[in-house]
């Protein structure tokens, strides 16, 4: 049996006037000791799925289980065994680092000493500040403390809802290293993130958009499944170039990606020279460079988005 099993879950939020479908017939499964990433933009339904799996919300339709326990019937069992770190910093700001940790250890029926091994690597980084109030910690420190608190009862499954949002790049990297080492200790981790670059660090990922799962696979497979040749285009006035590219009848997709525009063509036999030829005739002063590149996770995401 898979550690997390989601079967045709739907959830609609009703307001006075309209109803928003947050999750639309979602199914997925997470294997034991896997880091499973839920990748998608804000409002895609990531948090809703987390809340259903952590028994905080009830799904309208479908069923789900965590560690063999049904999220509706056996919610008490799930609450004993999972660790959950919500997207918003959810510790007590007026309690010190130490007091927060001690509090969460006690309400999870354990002690800090009992499971200290598990959090040792993370806790030693914030230990110098253990008498500081949680509200006065930096963003990265807060996340580390929250992770410690979510881990203190040695959960079998760890749910992390956007743990790295608003955290600096160095802390983000450290955070993912911690997740890898937790995985080695036998914890199944489900993590959501809006950052595509973090997708590569997961064992498997699910793309989620407007409540629908677009694809579930390993990051490598997802990149390999990218069906088209991908070109990167650069020039002086990037906006003008993007507009011209979209006018080009042979172009299938074109998106701004950092310093370059990523372009696919309708006919994969065509070469980069054809794009260059078209652009230089249309915009002679723009100093156009075109090259073929390897697609990344984000390109795949855009492709799935277009297909759906």
Partner 1 sequence: MAKSYQLKMKQFKEFVRKEFYHILRDRRSLLLLLAMPIVLMIIFGFAISNEIKNNSLAVYDMAKDQASQKIIEAFKASKYFNISYNIYSEDEIEKMFRQNKAALVIVIPSQFNSNLIATNKAAIQIIADASDPNTATSLINYATSIITEYQSSLNQQANIPYQIQTETRMLYNPELKSAYTFVPGVMGLILMLISAMMTSVAIVREKELGTMEVLLVSPLNPVLIVIAKAIPYFLIGVINVLTIIALSVFAMGLPVEGNFFLLLAESMLFIISCLSLGLLISTMAQSQQVALLISLLVLMLPTMLLSGFIFPVENMPKVLQWISNIVPATWYILMIKAIMLKGLGFASVWKENLVLIGMTIFFLAVSIKRFNIRLD
Nearer to partner 1, 105 or 297 (CB): 105
Closest CA relative to residue 192, chosen from 30, 3, 47: 47
CA distance linking residue 22 with residue 270, whole number of Å: 41
Q: Closest approach of Cβ 162 to partner 1, in Å?
A: 13
109 binds partner 1 (CB under 8 A): yes
Strand bridging mode 4-14 / 61-66: antiparallel
Q: Closest approach of Cβ 57 to partner 1, in Å?
A: 6
- Stretch binding partner 1 (CB under 8 A), from 34-42, 75-83, 221-229, 266-274: 75-83
- Cβ-in-10-Å burial (0-12, 13-18, 19+) of 178 comes to buried
Q: Closest approach of Cβ 154 to partner 1, in Å?
A: 13
108 binds partner 1 (CB under 8 A): yes
Closest CA relative to residue 208, chosen from 55, 28, 65, 59: 28
From candidates 3, 54, 156, 171, binder to partner 1 by CB under 8 A: 54
Nearer to partner 1, 98 or 286 (CB): 98
Q: Closest approach of Cβ 226 to partner 1, in Å?
A: 37
Count of beta carbons in the 10 Å neighbourhood of residue 85: 24
Nearer to partner 1, 24 or 99 (CB): 99
- Stretch binding partner 1 (CB under 8 A), from 2-10, 73-81, 137-145, 197-205: 73-81
Q: Closest approach of Cβ 21 to partner 1, in Å?
A: 15
115 binds partner 1 (CB under 8 A): no
CA distance linking residue 233 with residue 18, whole number of Å: 43
- Cβ-in-10-Å burial (0-12, 13-18, 19+) of 7 comes to middle
57 binds partner 1 (CB under 8 A): yes
From candidates 27, 31, 90, 289, binder to partner 1 by CB under 8 A: 90
136 binds partner 1 (CB under 8 A): no
Determine the distance from the C-alpha atom of residue 125 to the mean position of all C-alpha atoms in its chain, rounded to a whole number: 24
CA distance linking residue 224 with residue 226, whole number of Å: 5
56 binds partner 1 (CB under 8 A): yes
129 binds partner 1 (CB under 8 A): no
Angle of helix 139-151 versus helix 169-184 axis, rounded to 10:
10
Q: Which DSSP string corresponds to 233-291?
A: EE-SSHHHHHHHHHH-TTEEEEEEETTEEEEEESSTT--HHHHHHHHHHH-TTS--EEE
Q: Closest approach of Cβ 95 to partner 1, in Å?
A: 6
Determine the distance from the C-alpha atom of residue 55 to the mean position of all C-alpha atoms in its chain, rounded to a whole number: 20
Q: Closest approach of Cβ 192 to partner 1, in Å?
A: 15
From candidates 4, 35, 37, 51, binder to partner 1 by CB under 8 A: 51
Q: Which residues of the shown chain bind partner 1 in the complex (CB under 8 A)?
A: 51, 54-58, 75-76, 79-80, 82, 84, 86, 88-95, 99, 102-104, 106-109, 149-150
């Amino acid at each position: 049996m898979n550690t997390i099993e989601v079967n045709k879950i739907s959830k609609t939020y009703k307001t006075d006037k309209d109803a928003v479908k947050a999750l639309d017939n979602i199914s997925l499964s997470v294997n034991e000791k896997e880091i499973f990433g839920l990748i998608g933009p804000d409002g895609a339904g990531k948090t809703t799925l987390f809340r259903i799996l952590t028994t905080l919300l009830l799904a309208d339709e479908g069923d789900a289980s965590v560690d063999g326990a049904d999220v509706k019937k056996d919610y008490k069992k799930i609450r004993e065994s999972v660790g959950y770190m919500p997207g918003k910093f959810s510790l007590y700001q007026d309690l010190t680092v130490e007091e927060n940790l001690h509090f969460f250890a006690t309400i999870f029926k354990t002690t800090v000493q009992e499971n200290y091994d598990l959090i040792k690597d993370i806790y030693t980084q914030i230990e110098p500040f253990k008498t500081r109030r949680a509200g006065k910690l930096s963003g990265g420190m807060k996340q580390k403390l929250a992770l410690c608190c979510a881990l203190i009862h040695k959960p079998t499954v760890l749910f992390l809802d956007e743990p790295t949002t608003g955290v600096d790049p160095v802390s983000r990297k450290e955070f993912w290293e911690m997740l890898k080492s937790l995985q080695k200790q036998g914890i199944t981790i489900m993590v959501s993130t809006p950052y595509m670059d973090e997708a590569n660090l997961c064992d498997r990922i699910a793309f989620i958009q407007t409540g629908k799962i677009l694809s579930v696979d390993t990051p490598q497979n997802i990149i390999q499944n990218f069906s088209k040749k991908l070109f990167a285009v650069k020039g002086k006035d990037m906006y003008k170039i993007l507009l011209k590219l979209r006018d080009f009848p042979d172009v299938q997709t074109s998106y701004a990606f950092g310093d370059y525009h990523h372009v696919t063509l309708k006919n994969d036999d065509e070469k980069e020279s054809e794009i260059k030829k078209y652009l230089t005739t249309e915009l002679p002063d723009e100093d156009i460079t075109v090259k073929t590149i390897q697609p990344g996770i984000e390109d795949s995401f855009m492709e799935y988005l277009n297909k759906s």
